[in-house]
Structure 1
Amino acid sequence: MNLSNKEILEKANAAITEGDNEGFLSFCTDDTEWTFVGDMTLQGKEAVRQYMAKTYVEPPRFMVENLIAEGEFVTAIGKISMKNEHGKMIDYAYCDVWRFRDGKMTGLKAFVIETGSRSKQ
Structure 2
Amino acid sequence: MAEENKKILEKANAAITKGDNEGFLAFCTDDTAWTFVGDQILLGKEAVRRYIASAYLEPPKFMVENLIAEGDYVTALGKIRLKDTDGQMAEYSYCDVWRFRDGKMAELKAFVIKTNE
1:24-59, Cα deviation, whole Å (9 max, x unpaired): 000000000000000000000000000001111200
Distance 1:12 1:55 in 2: 17
Q: Normalization by structure 1: what TM-score?
A: 0.93
- 2:37: which partner in 1? 37
Q: Which 4+ residue blocks in structure 1 deviate beyond 6 angstroms?
A: none
Q: Where do 1:92-107 residues align within 5 Å?
A: 92-107=92-107
- 1:66: which partner in 2? 66
Q: Kindly state the Cα deviation for residue 81 of structure 1 after the two structures are TM-superposed.
A: 0.5
Q: Normalization by structure 2: what TM-score?
A: 0.96
Distance 2:55 2:91 in 1: 14
Amino acid in structure 2 at the alignment position of 1:57: L
Amino acid in structure 2 at the alignment position of 1:105: M
- 2:84: which partner in 1? 84
Tell me the number of residue pairs that the alignment of Structure 1 and Structure 2 aligns.
Answer: 115
State the percentage of identical aligned residues.
Answer: 72
- 1:14: which partner in 2? 14
Q: Kindly state the Cα deviation for residue 88 of structure 1 after the two structures are TM-superposed.
A: 1.1
